[in-house]
Structure 1
Amino acid sequence: MSYETLAGRTAVITGAASGMGAATALLLADRGARVALLARRADRLEEVAAAVTAKGGEALVVAADVTDQASVDAAAERVHTAYGEVDLVVNAAGVMLPNPVDEGRTDEWQRMLDTNVAGALRIIRAFTPDLVAAAAEGRTADLVNISSIGAHIAFPDYAVYGATKAALSHLSASLRTEFSPRDVRVTNIEPGLTDTELGSHIDNAELSGRLDGMFDALGSLSGDDIADLVAYTTSRPRHVNLRQLIVLPTRQV
């Protein structure tokens, strides 16, 4: 395999309807991978798939909710039926719902935990046998988790979101102790300010304005920037594992 292409690889990308997930799906497909697109919004997935096929790539639309085990199981079955064994998994699904903890938004807490932590675990559980089998056959196998700089830098009113991302970052490090002896690579990416749909989910006007101010002052990364890192990481020689990547806009410290 050329280290500039991903020809022959089969990738599953969650959160593929928009943002980092969609950008990653488009770039991996452009580099030669078959891509299975997982997200809840089938209409948006169809748009991403159409963009892939318009450039000669191959994409599979799989409407799935990572917070629901039955949905993930059905999605895995569909991927396996269509594409067989998977050798590249990108956990890009996530939600960011900041609010002061003393507001007690337990529904938001649960949604972030179910998506950012348990959702990633459900996908890992579904495709770990594929990754292990691919590596055992001498092929490159990658698990990439998209965490956040919020995993280890505290921001006011982002406590629960930051805690879920800290859990994902720690999970990634811990999984390397289990997966690396079997030649499965695990990469954890922690982006800083990135222009995605996440900010539009904030229902607190003060916090939304504060975030807009940070974008104005510091600039931002794009989903394409994160996709570029995923493509670079997963196209390294199979004995090279870029385990932890922190990426920030130049002005963010």
Structure 2
Amino acid sequence: MNHAAYPALAARTAVVTGAASGMGEATARLLAAGGARVALLARRAERLDALAAAITADGGRALAVTADVTDQSSVDAAVRTVHDTWGPVDLVVNNAGVMLPNPLADGRIDEWTRMIDTNLTGALRIVRAFSADLVAAAAEGRAADLVNVSSIASHVLFPDYAVYGATKAALTQLSAALRTELGPRDVRVAAIEPGLTDTELGGHIDNPVLREQLDGMFEAMPALTAQDIAELIAFTVTRPRHVNLRHLVALPTRQA
């Protein structure tokens, strides 16, 4: 394995949520390629097991932990598994998310609840679970990072994406607020806001008009890849520990 790009990762123990696909999978692969021990958290056990096997086959270290961030008991069990296997962590990537756009007038409470529970409350559960680890790592003089994967929808308005955008705005705001609490304790908090990115995120959309609209955007411009975001995360968490890249917005060049 080539660790040359991010040698600082070799001493890290990371947790990546939403690791079964997309940005989470790419980030987990890249962190592991840099030598980090990576706990893979997601709901799809088969996908996680396959990813852990692939990382191990490449010489990396990965732990597949089936977990649902919307379920507190599931998160608690995942934390125990990570701690029992590897002890405390010093790098957390809050990536689990779901995008379910529809006109607000449709009143899709099921979608609203799922997005809020995953994108916001789920992220909070992970912060609660691992913040003590991060503070302890920083107190020992080591790098400690919390990376929250938000979206440009936090500040760019898209019709029919109101609730999704609200959850991402909340996540970006949460990141800013957490910096006031964790920054003085030497824990870095970063919010990363990708623009149009080629992942499975759009696959959950059940509105055919909005699916077609999203497909049209992908046809109109070269999108970011999951690997692009993984590289950005890896770069962010390998800066000198006094440097916090606190808020990063990444767009395809053709996206305004």
**TM-score normalised by structure 2 residue count:** 0.97
In 2: Cα distance, 1:8 partner to 1:95 partner: 31
Contact between 1:10 and 1:33, CA under 8 Å: does it hold in 2?
Answer: yes
2:11 alignment partner, SS class: coil
Given candidates 109, 113, 120, the residue that maps to 2:112 is 109
Given candidates 95, 99, 103, the residue that maps to 2:102 is 99
Which stretches of structure 1, 4 residues or more, deviate above 3 A after TM superposition?
none
Contact between 1:132 and 1:184, CA under 8 Å: does it hold in 2?
Answer: yes
Identity %: 71
Aligned length: 253
In 2: Cα distance, 1:48 partner to 1:72 partner: 20
- Counterpart for residue 121 of structure 1: 124
- Counterpart for residue 245 of structure 1: 248
Given candidates 8, 11, 19, the residue that maps to 2:11 is 8
- Counterpart for residue 20 of structure 1: 23
- Counterpart for residue 204 of structure 2: 201
In 1: Cα distance, 2:5 partner to 2:244 partner: 13
The alignment status of 1:76 with 2:79, answered yes or no, reads yes
For residue 247 of structure 2, what is the amino acid of its counterpart?
A: Q
CA RMSD, Structure 1 to Structure 2 (Å): 1.1
1:65 alignment partner, SS class: coil
- Counterpart for residue 45 of structure 1: 48
- Counterpart for residue 91 of structure 2: 88
The alignment status of 1:135 with 2:132, answered yes or no, reads no
Shift of 1:3: 7.8
The alignment status of 1:169 with 2:172, answered yes or no, reads yes
In 1: Cα distance, 2:162 partner to 2:6 partner: 39
1:186 alignment partner, SS class: strand
The alignment status of 1:189 with 2:183, answered yes or no, reads no
What do the CA deviations read for 1:46-97 (whole angstroms, capped 9, x no partner)? 1111111111000001000000001001100100000001000000100000
For residue 60 of structure 1, what is the amino acid of its counterpart?
A: L
In 2: Cα distance, 1:216 partner to 1:123 partner: 35
**TM-score normalised by structure 1 residue count:** 0.98
Structure 1, unaligned runs of 5 or more? none
Structure 2, unaligned runs of 5 or more? none
